[in-house]
Amino acid sequence: MKQTEHVLLVESDPFVCDLIAKQTLKAAGYSVEVVEDAAAALARVAQHRFSLVIVNLNLPGFSGKDFLVALSARGYDLPVIALAKRGMDTDIIQAFRLGAADFLIHPLREAEVLTAVERVLKQVRERRERERLAAELKQTNQELKARIEEQNILFSIGKAVTSITDQTLLFERILEGALKVTKSDLGWFLVRSDTDQPFILVAHRNLPPSLVERLGKTWDDEISSLVALSAQALAIEGESLHRFKVSALGQAALISPVKVQRQVIGLICLMRRAPSPFSKNEQSLVEAVADYASISLVNARLFKALEEKLRQLQTQAASAVKVVPDAAAPGGSKGLLSPPLDVARRVLNQIVNDPAAHWTAGQRQSFAELGVQLQRLAQLLETLAQAEKQVSS
């Protein structure tokens, strides 16, 4: 049964209408509507979605060929079967040129009518299925292209984390990557030195001049502080966003925390000016960017701590050379300074070989230089110990 397929018959001859509509198509399960002229047919096509039109080419006044021209001019994608009498070969050819899908010749037989209708509707179904598959393929290709672009952006951020030593530039690259993968209009990056310290604006994109002046200074955008407390990413839009002053910048926001050992030390904040909510996939992408940001902040903190330890050792070594060794200290200066020097060398070795760290080439070169300096301190301490022996003897 073809209950969902509706046929419009444009025919003025009652005998032909009865044969096609009642005896053939309705008996086969089709829904059929009959109109007597082409003008009425155009009006019905505009009001109802038909599966097929059967039209007599030799209608009085507004002919079947005129009907085909009008359908094409109005952009209707509707299959048409032309009815013609024998000897109307030229009219049939013109009908095909005007877009007819098939034709029937008087006198009509029920089997011929049903076969033509089934043939045309099958062609329409197959064409629409091909169009559907083509549209799905196009959509899949677009999504694949988008996923590849997202992965390339994440890869570039990862590369920046392992190659850029300038933290200011690195923060800008991270924020830029987050904007690209989410197609956001503006954004900012907040970082704090400790969990009890306020957040500082370290990077931004497309903020108004009044906020750009906050670069390098503390800034509370109201929403980010809530994310810092929950330690969970937040996508917000509509009325929920309008409760905050930051809604003046856009109509949809996404804030992702940057965490180190479950502690929030940074926040990546993104906004869209249009009311276009951020998707779950975009939230996941920003969380991946936040992971890269976390790595860069951890590396920077470890590197800073190591530099501070080396400065302390250098200060201790310089002081030891200037003062007379403490006779009460076992082993003199060597006994006093060797333990902290050994600890420093062990810590340096642990940091350099930490599988969780992603050191840049510049940082690894600095570590090598630290190792050289520690070795020199060890040699200096050995020389000092020998001098002490000579003095005591």
In the 3-class helix/strand/coil scheme, how is the chain assigned residue by residue? CCCCCEEEEECCCHHHHHHHHHHHHHCCCCEEEEECCHHHHHHHHHHCCCCEEEEECCCCCCCHHHHHHHHHHCCCCCCEEEEECCCCHHHHHHHHHCCCCEEEECCCCHHHHHHHHHHHHHHHHHHHHHHHHHHHHHHHHHHHHHHHHHHHHHHHHHHHHCCCCCHHHHHHHHHHHHHHHHCCCEEEEEECCCCCCCCEEEEEECCCHHHHCCCCCECCCCHHHHHHHHCCCEEEEHHHHHCCHHHHHCCEEEEEEEEECCEEEEEEEEEECCCCCCCHHHHHHHHHHHHHHHHHHHHHHHHHHHHHHHHHHHHHHHHHHHCCCCCCCCCHHHHHHHHHHHHHHHHHHHHHCCCCCCCCHHHHHHHHHHHHHHHHHHHHHHHHHHHHHHHHC
Q: Is residue 212 part of a domain?
A: yes
Domain that holds residue 215: 149-296
227 shares its domain with 255: yes
Q: Is residue 362 part of a domain?
A: yes
206 shares its domain with 266: yes
| CATH number of the domain enclosing 126 | 3.40.50.2300
Boundary (domain end) residue, out of 65, 100, 130: 130
Q: Is residue 119 part of a domain?
A: yes
Q: Is residue 141 part of a domain?
A: no
Residue 358 has pLDDT above 70, yes or no: no
100 shares its domain with 160: no
The first and second tokens of residue 290, run together, are 């936040």
224 in Cβ contact with 267 (< 8 Å)? yes
pLDDT of residue 168: 85
292 shares its domain with 304: no
291 shares its domain with 304: no
Q: Is residue 385 part of a domain?
A: yes
17 shares its domain with 45: yes
Q: Is residue 135 part of a domain?
A: no
In the chain, the number of structural domains is 3
Q: What is the pLDDT of residues 330-357, one digit of tens each?
A: 556 566 667 777 777 777 777 777 766 6
306 shares its domain with 292: no
- CA distances for 316 relative to 15, 101, 306, angstroms: 115, 96, 15
Q: Is residue 138 part of a domain?
A: no
* Stated pTM of the model: 0.54
Q: What is the pLDDT of residues 35-87, one digit of tens each?
A: 999 999 999 999 998 999 999 998 888 889 999 999 999 989 899 999 999 88
Q: What is the pLDDT of residues 295-312, one digit of tens each?
A: 877 777 766 666 677 777
292 shares its domain with 153: yes
Q: What is the pLDDT of residues 75-111, one digit of tens each?
A: 898 999 999 998 899 989 999 999 999 999 988 999 9
- CA distances for 77 relative to 46, 74, 111, 192, angstroms: 12, 9, 26, 62
Boundary (domain end) residue, out of 130, 160, 178: 130
328 in Cβ contact with 303 (< 8 Å)? no
Q: Is residue 137 part of a domain?
A: no
66 shares its domain with 182: no
181 shares its domain with 210: yes
292 shares its domain with 347: no
| CATH number of the domain enclosing 194 | 3.30.450.40
273 in Cβ contact with 266 (< 8 Å)? no
Boundary (domain end) residue, out of 73, 98, 130: 130
112 shares its domain with 176: no
